[in-house]
Amino acid sequence: MSDIINLTAKEIHSGILSKKFKATEVMQSFLDQISAKDKELNSFISLNDKAMEQAQKVDDKVSSGKNIGALGGVPVAIKDMLCTKDLKTTAGSKMLENFIPPYSATVVNKLEASGAIIIGKCNQDEFAMGSSNETSYFGACKNPWDTEYVPGGSSGGSAVAVAARMAPISIGTDTGGSIRQPASFCGVVGIKPTYGRVSRYGIVAFASSLDQAGPFSRTIEDSTLVLESICGHDEFDSTTSSKEVLPWSTKLNDKVEKIKVGLPKEYFEGGLDEDVKKSIDIAKDALKEMGCEFVEVSIPHTKYSVPIYYIIATSEASSNLARYDGVRFGYRANFDDKPAADLIDFYCRNRGEGFGTEVKRRISLGTFTLSSGYYDAYYKKACQVRSLLKQDFEKSFKDCDIILSPVTTTPAFKIGDRISDPITMYKNDIFTTSTNLAGLPGLSLPVTLSKDKLPIGVQLTASAFNESKLLQVAHQMEQLISFKEKPANV
């Protein structure tokens, strides 16, 4: 049975269908792995106590010959940013420590409609604000490759759950790299779809114009199956596109012809970290073997992507997080001993005590950048440069089909190393934030290990709604690179 946890989602699903094993056995295997490993890794905030019951229902369907859906019986771990009806959803915050949503996110509904079973809710940086999973109210999550290292963030728990075989697939959210960066740090696949591909309805909002949910898995094919299930127009999210969701998984092996791979010169100008350079070289070799051609492209506004990102993300967040006020749900300070002096005091204490430091720092920053007299200099200016950055990409994609780049400037760093230095932490997002700003699809594909034996991925980015090519190229690279390493301890 211990083999089950090393299977892909696709293998699990077909194993259940062909009655090789039962959905309940699958679920039990993963739950056992969680019991064995998660005390140390801390990747789950809560588990679904109905998971076995739901697996049993899948088994019942199998035995009565009923359709179980494309992901029937596959356990899925969900970042705690996604509302799950009747299952605690915390966003990694004390603010929502006891929040049980009365509704589910569209992504959750879609996964369940495909037969997937929620195994639990994953740890994350508080309100997805962080790149190391250290800002979680529920404690840092640890990198399974070396527990002294961060797993990345903000979707750290979702990446770790898959890397440490506690779930075959998981869902994260990506606002500035929060899926791709932890995927790279943990040696798994992580995909951020085009903005508008996946409904944001029911997903705790961090930055509305940047947030996008996406899958983690150990293969491109598994993530593709998840995307086929969660993408598509949603009547509850005005920003979802009605562009058709194609059966991408059936086309992954189609020959990609005359693919031009763009290398943005700005990304490589300052020289790369040795390990990161190695990962890019391996990726290039694979692409060469596939017959791809390389072209130099230019994204002149690259160096501004981090400041634009932080201005826009914090501005939007300052407003998005205003709803956590202790009136209708969430944390309320103790006013029995010390009554609220006035309404302002009531809010300040609820919010001041309910939010952690990084969240308060970002809300303060965003409140300032939107405030009277500063709006034009910060928020509006950032949106203007965002427009220029998006044009840079549009121009580049006239000359190439896919952009290859690092995911981060370095492999995973140690827990505690950067938490006190926000700017260094923010600057680490240089390669990932621009994808969100331009609304493009991007993914992280694991390729190698660093000299410290930590995984490193490379990032592939495509033009908007061109997931089809992105997935094909990534899948075929994956076959050639054949990264088979796994954390020693799992």
Partner 1 sequence: MDIENVATLARLSLSDEEKAQFKAQMSSILEYFEELNEINTEGVIPLVTPTEIVNPHREDIPNDWENASDALSVAPQVKGNLFQVPPVV
Partner 2 sequence: MFNDWKPVIGLEIHAQLNTKSKIFCNDSTEFGKGDNQNISPVSLGMPGALPVVNKMAIENSIKTGLALNSEIRRKSVFSRKNYFYPDLPKGYQISQFDEPICEGGFVEFYVDDEKVRVGITRAHMEEDAGKSTHHGDYSLINLNRAGIPLLEIVSEPDIKSPAHAAEYARTIRQILKYLDVCDGNLEEGSLRCDCNVSVMKKDATEYGTRVEIKNINSFRFVEKAIEYEISRQIEVIESGGEIFQETRLFDSTKNKTYSMRKKEQAHDYRFFPDPDLLPVIISEEWIDRVKSTLPELPKDMAERFQSEYKIPKYDALVLTQEKALAEYFEDVAKESGNAKSASNWVMVELQRELNDKKLSIEKSPISSSRLAELIKLIDGKVISGKIAKKVFGIMLTEDKNPDVIVKEQGLVQISDSGAIEKMVDDVIAASPNQVEQYKAGKDKLFGYFVGQIMKASKGQANPEMINKLLKEKLK
Q: Do 192 and 169 meet the contact criterion of CB atoms below 8 Å apart? A: no
Q: Known catalytic residue: 178?
A: yes
Shortest Å, Cβ 350 to partner 2: 10
Shortest Å, Cβ 232 to partner 2: 15
Within 226-255, which residues bind partner 2 (CB under 8 A)? 235-239
Select the residue interacting with partner 1 from 46, 329, 409, 466 (CB under 8 A). 329
DSSP code per residue over 343-377? HHHHHHHHHHHHS-HHHHHHHHHHHHHHSTTTTII
Question: Which residue among 57, 79, 110, 142 is the active-site one?
Answer: 79
Select the residue interacting with partner 1 from 14, 371, 479, 489 (CB under 8 A). 371
Q: Does 129 bind partner 2 (CB under 8 A)?
A: no
Q: Does 375 bind partner 1 (CB under 8 A)?
A: no
Pick what 181 binds: partner 2, partner 1, none; C-beta below 5 to 8 Å, kind-dependent.
none
Torsion over CA of 142, 146, 147 and 149, rounded to 10 degrees? -70
Q: Does 110 bind partner 2 (CB under 8 A)?
A: no
Nearer to partner 1, 396 or 472 (CB): 396
CA angle 445, 143, 218 (to 5 degrees): 30
Pick what 386 binds: partner 2, partner 1, none; C-beta below 5 to 8 Å, kind-dependent.
partner 1
Pick what 204 binds: partner 1, partner 2, none; C-beta below 5 to 8 Å, kind-dependent.
partner 2
Tokens linked to 389: 């950055």
How many other β-carbons are positioned within 10 Å of the β-carbon of residue 400?
23
170/166 Cα distance (integer angstroms): 10
Tokens linked to 83: 């509302």
* For residue 154, cis peptide bond before it (omega within 30 degrees of 0): yes
Q: Residues touching partner 1: how many (CB under 8 A)?
A: 74
Select the residue interacting with partner 1 from 318, 432, 434, 459 (CB under 8 A). 318
Q: Known catalytic residue: 154?
A: yes
Select the residue interacting with partner 2 from 30, 379, 397, 465 (CB under 8 A). 379
Phi-psi group of 224: left, alpha or beta (phi > 0 → left; psi -120 to 50 → alpha; rest → beta) = alpha
Select the residue interacting with partner 2 from 327, 341, 388, 423 (CB under 8 A). 327
How many other β-carbons are positioned within 10 Å of the β-carbon of residue 20?
12
Nearer to partner 2, 174 or 478 (CB): 174
Residues 6+ apart with CB under 8 A from 384: none
Buried/exposed code over 225-253 (b: 16+ C-beta within 10 A; e: otherwise)? bbbbbbbbebeebeebbeeebeebbeebe
Within 419-448, which residues bind partner 1 (CB under 8 A)? 422-423, 426, 437-439
Q: Known catalytic residue: 94?
A: no
Strands (E), 72-201: 75-79, 117-122, 169-174, 189-192
Within 11-70, which residues bind partner 1 (CB under 8 A)? none
- Contacts with partner 2 by CB under 8 A lie at 82-83, 89, 91, 96, 99, 101-103, 105, 200-205, 207-209, 235-239, 315-316, 318-319, 321-325, 327-329, 343, 347, 367, 370-372, 375, 379
Which positions are annotated as active-site residues? 79, 154, 178
